[in-house]
Chains A and B, each alone.
Chain A
Amino acid sequence: MRKTLYILFEYIRSAGLSLLVIVVISALAMSGLTVSTGRIASETEKYDKLRNSGLSDCFYGSRIKPAANLTEKIKTVNGVVEIIKRPDTVNFKPNDGSDGLFSMKLLTKELYECANLNFKGSGFDYDSNDLECIIASEYFNKYSIGETLSVKIPAKKNGEYITADFQIKGIVKTPQSVLSMSGGGSSVDASMIYEDASFIIVKDCEALRDLAGGSITKSYLETFFIRFDNKLTEKEKTEAIDELSKYLTLQTVDEVLKTTKEQVKETVSSFLPVIIFCVLYSILTLVGMEILILYKTSEETAVCRCLGMSKARLASTVCIAKAVTIIVSFALCCIINRLFYSIPAVSSGTVYHARLLVPALILGVFEIIIAVVISVVAAAKKSVKSSYERV
């Protein structure tokens, strides 16, 4: 053990600057690979989710200016039949371990039709542990505490329905007539006011969370999918779009798909140099540096051999040194990635997830393999021999 540790130390000491360069370039390459593949994955995922969302008849809206009463404004637009909202994932931190997704449905005609209840309007929101549902106040007095309501909700795809059971936990009177329903304790945030609507708090409703979480993509900006009632005339539709355009950038999903596809291509091409660099680095630089290090440490290698180090021990020690290098590189990579993530443009989408460090890990393993091959083949045989013969 002491032999290995000694040589390890001596090797790292002797390799000096070359080793440092390897560590830094490794970290940069790993980070580059992580960020680039992460961005590509993010864009691709967004595209795939959009394509599979079954929302092709929807409009995709991105909030263009802060509007505290945006929901209210949208609600009042005639003919808006469905809005699914995704919050800013950075600011929204649910405390129940879910992934921070929520949905909102306002004046949903489909819900109205499919629900057992005669919801004229309904809305789901997520606040702390609760999902909230808005119904029109005219239905408010029909329900009583303890009553279980069964609601069929359209699933994210292919028109299937999910049945969700809500229990009315209590009725909370607000100026807007709030009805509170829950399977457990809940509270109503008084600041969440929905004009002319009752307010239902629903807790632990997996079906709604699935619906909310599964159908749309994350984005740094708040986004909405908006579906118009089929019965709307073109004029009414145009008016609704004009009204919503004050608050949202509206695009058809087809347009978004096209844009996203372009973005995927653009991302791939913009990150291609980084990926090529990483690959070239692994093949050329790493091999070159390894050989340089072997050359630089050949004197020590020869000394070690003369003083009684077996080829296998020497090679394994060099490999351990490489592994240490890679681990340090990987740690640096994590730090660099963390710095990248602090940039909003990079942190958007799934690149935020640590799992995207996998490319870095793969590169790291690749480097170790290269190091092992070079160390075993060169250090244990040719270099050792030639270095000894040289002296």
Chain B
Amino acid sequence: MHQIEIRKLNKTYRSDKIENLVLKDIDLDIEKGEFVAVIGKSGCGKTTFLNILGTLDDFDNGEYLLDGEPVKEMSDKQKARIRSGKIGFVNQDFMLLPNRTAYENVTLPLYFGKSDLSDMKKKAEGVLKTVDCFELSKKKIKHCSGGQKQRIAIARALIIDPEIILADEPTGALDSENTAEILKYLRKINKENGVTVIIVTHDPDVASACSRTIMIEDGRIVR
């Protein structure tokens, strides 16, 4: 059984009378533990695709099985439960709470899931150490650099022991040095924890660091 199995998936955005078919007949299988890059030009549907993978967005028709479970039939609550227990998100804009410390941001997902809060501190220390950010624990996000923010975002994604990490342009706002570092951490997580990592990027260097590349063009997977 594939971890992610997508068949004939379509997604259309509708605004007023205009219909924009952003994803067309997507067929895709991703195995557990894969390190995948999704590349394509701006507006080709990469982020929409990632949102659908992360159960944040609905799709019009087709089939999306996550660990054999049809996502289409899931309720909003079930999807929320999947996001809080199975999927970690990493974004270009970090999506961290700027006025909170790194520790508070990292522990945030634990409040949303069914996690036991008793060993919260230990877990937070562990994931912060994984991305070498332990010393930033008490630092507010607004005082951190871009690279640090992204590492903290990765730590936050890791704290729920995710099966999948979805990264949307994780290096888009970073310089080359930080880009390399972030990729290093993602690869490490992929190898050591066996977490499936799916990165959306338009950077060929990032894509080349991944074990598999999927190219989307005009809403279709071309490679």
**Contact string against A for B residues 86-102, beta-carbon threshold 8 Å, 1 for contact and 0 otherwise:** 00010111011101000
Interface size on B, residues (CB 8 A): 29
Interface-centre pick from A300, A309, A310, A311 (highest chain B CB count, 10 A) = A310
Q: A311-355 toward B: CB 8 Å interface, digit per residue (1/0)?
A: 111000000000000000000000000000000000000000000
A310 near B97 (CB under 8 angstroms)? no
In Å, the complex CA distance between A177 and B76 comes to: 88
A303 within 8 Å of B (CB atoms) = yes
A299 within 8 A of B: yes
Chain A, residues 6-24, CB within 8 Å of chain B (1/0): the string is: 1000100110000000000
* Interface membership of chain A positions 294-314, coded 1 if the CB is closer than 8 angstroms to chain B and 0 otherwise: 000001101111111111110
> B76, A312: Cβ atoms under 8 Å?
yes
Q: Which of B85, B97, B109, B111 contacts A300 (CB 8 A)?
A: B97
User: How many A-B contacts are there with CB distance less than 8 Å?
Assistant: 64
Across the interface, do A10 and B93 meet the contact criterion of CB distance under 8 Å? Answer: no
Most buried by B among A6, A304, A306: A306
Given contacts A388-B51, A388-B56, is CB(A309)–CB(B93) below 8 Å? no
**With A and B bound together, what is the CA distance between A321 and B109 in angstroms?**
21
Q: Are A303 and B95 in contact (CB under 8 A)?
A: yes
Residue of A nearest to B80 (CB): A310
Q: Counting CB contacts under 8 A, is B47 at the interface?
A: yes
Q: Are B109 and A308 in contact (CB under 8 A)?
A: yes
Q: Is A68 an interface residue (CB 8 A)?
A: no
- Are B84's CB and A307's CB within 8 A? yes
Given contacts A310-B79, A391-B91, contact A3 B112 (CB under 8 A): yes
| Number of chain A residues close to chain B: CB under 8 A | 24
B113 at the interface (CB under 8 A from A): yes
Give the docked Cα–Cα distance between A303 and B141 (Å): 14
* Complex Cα spacing A299 to B141, Å: 14
A2: CB under 8 A from chain B? yes
Interface centre among B85, B89, B113, B168 (most CB of A within 10 A): B89
B187 interfacial by beta-carbon distance below 8 Å: no
- Complex CA–CA separation, A376 to B165 (angstroms): 29
Most buried by A among B57, B80, B113: B80
- Taking CB as reference atom, which chain B residue is nearest A2? B111
Q: Is B7 an interface residue (CB 8 A)?
A: no
Chain B minimum-CB-distance residue to A310? B80
Contact residues, B61-106 vs A (CB, 8 A): 76-77, 79-85, 89, 91-93, 95-97, 99
Q: Is chain A's binding surface mostly helix, strand, loop or mixed?
A: helix
Contact check, A310 vs B56: say whether CB atoms are below 8 A apart.
no
* Chain B 42-60: CB-based contact to A (< 8 A → 1; otherwise 0): 0000010001001011000
| Contact status A308-B113, CB under 8 Å | yes
Nearest A residue (CB) for B56: A388
Contact A311 B76 (CB under 8 A): yes
Q: How far is the CA of A3 from the CA of B117 in the complex (A)?
A: 12
Query: Taking the complex as formed, is A189 at the interface, i.e. its CB lies under 8 A from any CB of chain B?
Result: no
Contact A305 B56 (CB under 8 A): yes
**Any B CB within 8 A of the CB of A96:** no
Once the chains are docked, how many angstroms separate the CA of A389 from the CA of B79?
18
Q: How far apart sit A302 and B96, CA to CA, in the bound complex (Å)?
A: 10
Q: Name the residue on A nearest B168 (C-beta).
A: A391
CB-CB under 8 A from A309, the residues of chain B are 80, 84, 112
Query: A302-B95, A391-B92 are contacts. A307–B76 as well, Cβ < 8 Å?
Result: no
Q: Which residues of B contact A10 (CB under 8 A)?
A: 97
Give the distance in Å from the alpha carbon of A300 to the alpha carbon of B105 in the complex: 11
CB < 8 Å neighbour of B111 from A6, A13, A14, A385:
A6
Task: Evaluate whether A310 and B77 lie within 8 angstroms (CB atoms) in the complex, with A2-B111, A3-B112 already known.
Answer: yes
Give CA–CA (A309, B96) in the complex, Å. Answer: 15
Complex CA–CA separation, A13 to B100 (angstroms): 11
Chain B nearest CB, measured from A27 CB (Å): 26
Closest to B91 in A: A391
B 177-205 contacts with A by CB, 8 A: none
User: Which chain B residue shows the least CB distance to A302?
Assistant: B95
Task: Please measure, in the bound complex, the distance between the C-alpha atom of A307 and the C-alpha atom of B96, giving whole angstroms.
Answer: 11
B108 touches A306 (CB 8 A): no
Q: How far apart are A272's CB and chain B's nearest CB, in angstroms?
A: 41
Interface residues in chain B, defined as those with a beta carbon under 8 Å from any beta carbon in chain A: 47, 51, 54, 56-57, 76-77, 79-85, 89, 91-93, 95-97, 99, 108-109, 111-113, 117, 168
14 contacts between A and B (CB under 8 A): A299-B95, A299-B97, A303-B96, A303-B97, A303-B108, A307-B109, A308-B83, A308-B84, A308-B109, A308-B113, A311-B76, A385-B57, A389-B47, A391-B92
Known: A299-B95, A307-B89, A312-B77. 17 other contacts (CB 8 A): A2-B117, A3-B112, A6-B111, A14-B99, A303-B95, A305-B83, A306-B54, A306-B89, A306-B91, A307-B84, A309-B112, A310-B76, A310-B79, A313-B80, A389-B47, A391-B91, A391-B168
8 nearest interchain CB pairs?
A: A308-B84, A310-B80, A308-B83, A308-B112, A391-B93, A306-B89, A307-B112, A6-B111
